[in-house]
Every structure is written in structure tokens, then in C-alpha cells.
Amino acid sequence: MATRRADRVEGLTREQIVRTSITLIERDGPKSLSMRKIAAELDVGVMSLYNHVPNKEALLEAVAESILSGLVVPEPDAAPHQDWKRNVRTLVAAFRATAHRYPRSMYLVLTSRVGQRFGSRTAQRALALLEAAGFDTVTSVRALRALMSYVIGAQMMEGEALTMPHALPTGTGDTGLGVDLEEIPHVVALADVLLRPDHDADFECGLEMLLSALDRLPRTAG
């Protein structure tokens, strides 16, 4: 056993440690992550991890870098006549795919200091794209905030952090939520659509609404 563990330590890499960290976060949640649990998962001694990552903060930086590496943002000068909305859709699609694949890790990235450091690089590229499209600096910042609010809010709804009832009682009377059905006729009439969301279709429709609204704002070029 000691020999096999020594072999594992000898072949241990930083990439293995990062992948295992992401696996633990997705399986057990961000608060469960510790150097001891990572070592146990890899069947190595805790101290062997420090040959590759000096501390937990450095590990979280590596996790953030790995998660955000999939967010490919088009260069603003790569196609100067390209529809700016296409570039935004590319960025949003990359974020959405990453958030679906690593929901708990993405939450950690978005809420941690190290994640914000790496996220600021993506924000820099997105702002450059918006300014290249002709939006002034203040409008570019506000557009980025609006897009982030929409994308993150939609992700929360899909993950059921924000929920609606899955069914309503039939007939009349109290819903059990302190609301009489007669007080919410539109909710009752549209219950089949309202309570059975198509997340992808809903997201694409909302994104196009937002992009259309942004496209009406004054621009100097693009």
C-alpha cells in the first residue's frame, strides 16, 4: 500500500488536483472543499498537495482559471463589421454551457475574491466588445450589468434557487398559499405554460428581447 501511494504521489499533477477539487465541489458543495478531502480522494498525503499548490487560495485560483477557461470572448478587432449581438451571444452561450456543466463551481467562482479577479478579465473583453460596437463607456458598463443580471438570474431559476409552484389546485378556493384562485385568473388560465417552463426557449427569447432593446440605444459606430 505504501508503495502504491508513493507511486501516486510521484505521478501527481496540478491538473489532477484541480480536477479533483472541481469534482468535490460539484458532488458535495463548495464548503466541503479542503486539502484533506482532496488528498483522501486522490489517496495521497496532504503534504504532497503543497508541492503543486502552495495554499488553498492558490487552489481556488486554479479552479477559477479552469472553470473560466471555457469562456471564449471574441476579440473586438477580429471582425470589425461583425454584428455585435453575435459576439454577445457567443459569450453568453459559453457562460451558460459552463454554468450548466459546473453549476456549483461557477457559483464559487462568481462569489469568491479569486473568481472575481479572473472574472474581471472576461468583463474587460466584454466591455471592449461593447465599446467597439459604438456604445459609450457608461452605456457599455450598464449593458454588461444588464446582461450579467439576466444570465445569472436565469441560471438561478433553472437551478430552482427561484421557484414557482409546479401545479395549482383545480376548481375554486384557496391555493394553500394564502391566495384565492379567483384573485389570480391569468395565472390559472395560463397555468399549463407558466408552470411548465422550457428553459432553453425562455432563455433565448429573453436574451433576444434584451439585445433588441440594447440595439435601440445610441451608438457612434458598429
Q: pLDDT tens-digit profile of 3-14?
A: 445 545 668 999
Residue 194's H or E segment, with its range, is: helix 191-194
> CA distances (Å), 63 to each of 51, 57, 91, in order?
17, 10, 20
SS3 state of residue 170: coil
DSSP H helical ranges for 43-190: 46-49, 56-68, 84-101, 103-111, 113-132, 137-158, 185-189
| Residue 199: DSSP 8-state | H
Sign of CA dihedral 32, 36, 37, 39: positive
Q: Which neighbouring-strand residues pair with 180?
A: 174
Cell of 94: 459559453
Domains assigned to the chain: 2-54 (1.10.10.60), 84-164+197-215 (1.10.357.10)
Tell me: the pLDDT tens digits for 90-119? 888 988 888 889 988 988 887 777 767 767
Mean pLDDT, contiguous 10-residue spans, the chain (222 residues): 53 94 93 93 93 90 85 59 82 88 86 73 84 92 93 79 55 56 80 80 95 92 54
Residue with cell 433588441: 212
pLDDT of amino acid 14 = 94
The answer to whether 66 and 27 are in contact (CB under 8 A) is no
pLDDT of amino acid 141 = 95
pLDDT of amino acid 40 = 94
pLDDT of amino acid 75 = 64
**Amino acid at position 56, single letter:** K
- Cα separation, 208 vs 170, in Å, equals 35
Residue with cell 440605444: 217
Give the distance from CA 15 to its chain's centroid. 22
pLDDT of amino acid 41 = 94
SS3 state of residue 137: helix
